[in-house]
Amino acid sequence: MKPDSNGLVNFIDEQKVWEIVHSAAGAESSRILEILDKALELKGLSLEETAMLLQVEDPELNEAIFETARKVKQGIYGNRMVLFAPLYITNECGNRCAYCGFKATNKELLRRTLTADEIRQEVSVLENQGHKRLLLVYGEHPKFGADWIADTVRTVYDTVSEKSGEIRRVNINCAPLDTEGFRKLHEVGIGTYQCFQETYHRKTYAELHPGGHKKDYLWRLHAMHRAMEAGIDDVGMGTLLGLYDYRFDTIALLSHAAELEDRFGVGPHTLSFPRLEPALNAEIAFNPPYPIPDEEFKRLVAVLRLSVPYTGLILSTRESKRMRRELLDLGVSQLSAGSRTYPGAYSDPDYDRPDVQQFCIGDNRSLEEVISEIVAHGYVPSWCTACYRAGRTGEHFMELAKKGFIQKFCHPNALLTFKEYLLDYAHSDTQSKGNALIKTELENFVAKRRAGVAERLERIENGERDLYL
């Protein structure tokens, strides 16, 4: 493969990806069952095995995939669910992504970039709802460089409201920077750097990204390499579903993950699987060329859970309440809640604003409504940020995760952060349901751990905050 003018090569071999997809179609039932047995060993699956599962047609085998995903999810993550909200900082953008309401050619969109004061205002609203983890989202505009992005991150971390109100982990979804730029984001303490390749199919990518910096496929493809070289070892990747054949894009995404693992010893910290949603003046977003039906979408999430068991799977509010509920058990480990998709949204009483937002969302419920539902399903909401703050990131985190660390540490920490939420932000009904869940969870711990967690819960009741193991 020949490098481009920046010396970058395309490490995604399209022909090979298609060969894997095609030769995996129609695998025998016995082979599928063998793969599902292997998945239960929690060591992940090869690209070929993943492609076979993605193309199962027999409903009974599909049900077996769902059942195995539930077991793997429960075995590694238990009933913990990490919650966060996106915070849009700017919708100004010089790119022309065909599917996005923020594209430069959308002249009807009202453009807005938050000032430092406006960021503080938005962060206070989110803190007062109980959020502790945010994903900052940015359009890509030449006037906003790495220094400016780093300043916005600092502003978020520095905004402290009453009660236990502070943001403890800021993740970022912005256009790819150069290594020096990523170093600045690392220095300012971002958690995960997230960037979706959208589609790995170069011809489709070129058609959908006709202008602006994002036109450069290879610059985007190498974003995670530069981020990791700059010291950011938690990266989040994904494809935008609906743009191209999801079987191709999923196998290519997992090849990208494997390339990072080979090169840096660790793959992505999280994967996302956004589906196209309607967006102002973006025809393709209303009529995706490759729509993925609900059942296949659910199977995709379940298969990802089996293929990369220790990688976090993030589900956004693009999906409906019903779909979100179904996906919880199948493998999702992080959920956004109470989300809005435009700058200044959380200080705005209207939530549906096609004139400023990036795309329409499918689940408009508040954070507390989402919490109430997941608690009713036996999930413990978590705002834990202990690993990132204790330096347990990247390869170090993956090693610990594989030794059962998630159940030993993440679960107790989830209970501690949930207790804070109940005391500081919840209404009485959520409080009583939440406290009952904490009590049951506590009873399930072995005696030694129970004592340590109970002691910390009591300290939180007495006013201490931010306790973790």
Q: Which partner from the list ligand SAM, ligand SF4, none does 318 bind, CB cut-off 5 to 8 Å by kind?
A: ligand SAM
Helix 447-461 × helix 428-443 angle, to 10°: 160
Phi, psi at 97, each rounded to 5°? -60, 125
Stretch of 8-16, 55-63, 190-198, 374-382 contacting ligand SAM, by CB under 6 A: 190-198
Write the binding mask 302 to 341 for ligand SAM: x where contact by CB under 6 A, - elsewhere: ----------------x-----------------------
Phi, psi at 96, each rounded to 5°? -130, 45
* Binding residues with ligand SAM: total (CB under 6 A): 22
CB nearer to ligand SF4: pick between 188 and 276: 276
> Least CB distance from residue 238 to ligand SF4, whole Å?
12
Write the binding mask 94 to 113 for ligand SAM: x where contact by CB under 6 A, - elsewhere: -----xx-------------
* Binding residues with ligand SF4: total (CB under 6 A): 10
Buried b (16+ CB within 10 A) or exposed e, 396-408: ebbebbeeeebee
Task: Residue 27: name the closest of 47, 45, 54, 46 by CA.
Answer: 54
Stretch of 29-37, 58-66, 270-278, 447-455 contacting ligand SAM, by CB under 6 A: 270-278
**With binding defined as CB under 6 A, does residue 198 bind ligand SAM?**
yes
DSSP 256-320: HHHHHHHHHS---SEEE-PBP---TT-HHHHS-SS---HHHHHHHHHHHHHHSTTSEEEE-TTS-
Write out the H or E segment, with its range, that includes residue 398.
Answer: helix 394-402
**With binding defined as CB under 6 A, does residue 196 bind ligand SAM?**
yes
Q: Which partner from the list ligand SAM, ligand SF4, none does 103 bind, CB cut-off 5 to 8 Å by kind?
A: ligand SF4
Residue 331 backbone zone (phi > 0: left; psi -120 to 50: alpha; other: beta): left
Q: Which partner from the list ligand SF4, ligand SAM, none does 122 bind, CB cut-off 5 to 8 Å by kind?
A: none
Contact 233, 272 (CB under 8 A): no
Number of H helices, E strands in the chain: 21, 9
Stretch of 10-18, 22-30, 96-104, 318-326 contacting ligand SF4, by CB under 6 A: 96-104
Q: Which partner from the list ligand SAM, ligand SF4, none does 285 bind, CB cut-off 5 to 8 Å by kind?
A: ligand SAM
Write the binding mask 156 to 175 for ligand SF4: x where contact by CB under 6 A, - elsewhere: -------------------x
- HSE toward the beta carbon, residue 461, CA cutoff 13 A: 8
Angle, CA of 393, 398 and 399, to the nearest 5°: 110
Q: How far apart are the first and last CA of the chain?
A: 48
Out of 144, 297, 359, 409, point to the residue binding ligand SAM (CB under 6 A).
359
Angle, CA of 129, 443 and 79, to the nearest 5°: 50
Out of 171, 358, 393, 413, point to the residue binding ligand SAM (CB under 6 A).
358
> Least CB distance from residue 315 to ligand SF4, whole Å?
19
For tokens 């290594």, the residue is 179
**With binding defined as CB under 6 A, does residue 139 bind ligand SF4?**
yes
> Least CB distance from residue 399 to ligand SAM, whole Å?
30
Out of 68, 79, 95, 357, point to the residue binding ligand SF4 (CB under 6 A).
95
DSSP 64-130: HHHHHHHHHHHHHHTTEEEEEEEEEEE-------TT-TT-TT-TTSPP-B--HHHHHHHHHHHHHHT
**With binding defined as CB under 6 A, does residue 367 bind ligand SAM?**
no
Beta-bridged to residue 170, according to DSSP, are: 134
Residue 13 per-residue DSSP state? -
> Least CB distance from residue 204 to ligand SF4, whole Å?
15
Stretch of 95-103, 179-187, 284-292, 435-443 contacting ligand SF4, by CB under 6 A: 95-103
**With binding defined as CB under 6 A, does residue 97 bind ligand SF4?**
yes
Out of 54, 81, 126, 279, point to the residue binding ligand SAM (CB under 6 A).
279
> Least CB distance from residue 86 to ligand SAM, whole Å?
9
Residues 26-85 that bind ligand SAM (CB under 6 A): none
> Least CB distance from residue 101 to ligand SAM, whole Å?
7
Distance CA 66, CA 386 (A): 31
Q: Where are the beta strands (DSSP E) in 177-220?
A: 193-194
For tokens 């939420």, the residue is 421
Residues 135-154 that bind ligand SAM (CB under 6 A): 137-140
**With binding defined as CB under 6 A, does residue 240 bind ligand SAM?**
yes
Stretch of 97-105, 346-354, 409-417, 439-447 contacting ligand SF4, by CB under 6 A: 97-105
Tokens linked to 343: 């700058």
Beta-bridged to residue 81, according to DSSP, are: 381
Q: Which residues bind ligand SF4 (CB under 6 A)?
A: 93, 95, 97, 100, 102-103, 139-140, 175, 214
Q: Which residues bind ligand SAM (CB under 6 A)?
A: 99-100, 137-140, 173-175, 195-196, 198, 240, 274, 276-277, 279, 282, 285, 318, 358-359
